[in-house]
Amino acid sequence: MPDARQMVLGTYNQKKRNELQQLLAPLGIELKSLQDFPAAIEVVEDGNSFGENAAKKATQQAVHLNQWVLAEDSGLCVDALKGAPGIYSARFSGDDATDEKNNDLLLEKLDGLPPEKRGAHYVCHITLSNPAGEVILESEDKCHGRIMTERHGTHGFGYDPLFQIREYHLTFGQLGPAVKGLISHRAKATRAFLAGLRQMLDQNPELLRQETK
Query: Residues 160-200: pLDDT tens digits?
Result: 999 999 999 999 999 988 898 889 998 899 889 999 999 99
pLDDT of residue 3: 59
β-strand pairing of 135-147 with 163-165: antiparallel
Would you name the residues annotated as active-site residues?
A: 73
Give the ranges where the chain is alpha helix by DSSP (H): 14-24, 50-65, 99-109, 172-183, 185-203
Q: What is the pLDDT of residue 212?
A: 41
Q: How much is the pLDDT for 19?
A: 76
The predicted pLDDT at position 1 comes to 40
**Beta bridge partner(s), residue 73:** 125
Profile the chain (213 residues) by mean pLDDT over runs of 10 residues. Answer: 76 83 84 93 94 96 96 96 97 95 98 97 96 97 98 94 96 91 90 92 82 44
Q: What crossing angle do the helices spanning 172-183 and 185-203 adopt, rounded to 10°?
A: 20
Residue-level pLDDT at 18: 85
- Spell out the domains of the chain, with CATH numbers in brackets: 5-209 (3.90.950.10)
Q: Could you give phi then psi for residue 86, rounded to 5 degrees?
A: 55, -130
CA gyration radius for the chain?
Answer: 18
